[in-house]
Amino acid sequence: MKRCVLILAAVALAGSFQAAWAADLTGKVTLKGTPPAEKTIDFSDNPQCANMHPTVTTTRWYVVGKDNGLKDVFVYISKGCEGKTFPIPAEPAVLDQEKCAYQPYVLGVMVGQTLNVKNSDPILHNVHAIPKVPGNEEFNIPQANQGQVNSKIFTKPEIMVKFKCDVHQWMFAYVGVVDNPFFAVTDADGNFKIPNVPPGEYTLTAYHVKAHGATPGISQTIKVEGSNPVVANFTVEVPQ
């Protein structure tokens, strides 16, 4: 009995140490070079969508913010977590269809985590996911009703799974699927934050859909020691 109590205490202590000895990983992704001009989306064939967009709407390939910060870069730990298991987030990730556009444009989920795809529009969409990695199933589901939600789970890591609406050709989004909970998507100024990374040496990868395409993205090795915050910056280049 005494031994059991001791073991439990040790486990609890280890858990609290892990929480205490986990660091926040922050950084910024900047774009070097001049990206090609975005295209204006033509809603003329779809009056309902046009009404939702009274101003000019463009594609979202290279969204550059303050100090050349690049939005929608998927940043994740690509190496260093092998052999470890992590709890799957109970909170589902949400990919919404709002005003005839996917929100967000880039999203991350963990393998096994529920992804809710929602239709917030008063018009119908189809949700067509096109994974390439065997084990992740391609699907194409109709969402005819406003508020309709369909839940899906990906079983294999994949950077990135493309989602598209075949009814509205300009509607597409990308979902990064990883086997650990340490990922983030850069905000409008290119900043990201991955909280509670346990100590260790990792490879941190930044992947931008347009700039990196079929390549794995750009990586750097980081070392997390104790609870000391780690800063890792990336530069994405557009060749001229």
Q: Is the dihedral of CA 59, 61, 64, 69 positive or negative?
A: positive
Interatomic CA distance for residues 105 and 52, integer angstroms: 18
Nearer to other proteins, 159 or 171 (CB): 171
Size of site (CB under 8 A) for other proteins: 41
Q: Does 149 bind other proteins (CB under 8 A)?
A: no
C-alpha 232/C-alpha 26 separation (Å) is 6
Q: Which stretch binds other proteins (CB under 8 A): 91-99, 107-115, 134-142, 198-206?
A: 134-142
Identify which range of 87-95, 132-140, 150-158, 176-184 contacts other proteins by CB under 8 A.
132-140
Residue 156 touches other proteins, criterion: CB under 8 A:
no
CB of 192 to other proteins, least distance (A): 21
Asked if 166 touches other proteins (CB under 8 A), the answer is yes
The verdict on 10 binding other proteins (CB under 8 A) reads: no
User: Site mask, other proteins, residues 51-70, x = CB under 8 A?
Assistant: --------x-x---------
Closest Cα to residue 93, out of 186, 199, 184?
184
Q: Does 141 bind other proteins (CB under 8 A)?
A: yes
- Sole window of 2-10, 44-52, 72-80, 110-118 interacting with other proteins (rule: CB under 8 A): 44-52
Q: Does 172 bind other proteins (CB under 8 A)?
A: yes
Instruction: Select the residue interacting with other proteins from 54, 134, 213, 226 (CB under 8 A).
Output: 213
Q: Which of 97, 103, 86, 102 is nearest to 183 (CA)?
A: 86
* CB 154, min distance to other proteins, A: 16
The least CB distance from residue 26 to other proteins, in Å, is 27
Find the shortest distance in angstroms from Cβ 127 to other proteins. Answer: 8
Residue 168, interface with other proteins (CB under 8 A)?
yes
Angle formed at CA 192 by CA 221 and CA 177, multiple of 5 degrees: 75
Interacting residue ranges for other proteins, rule: CB under 8 A? 36-42, 45-46, 48-49, 59, 61, 123-124, 126, 128, 138-142, 144, 162, 164-172, 210-215, 238-239
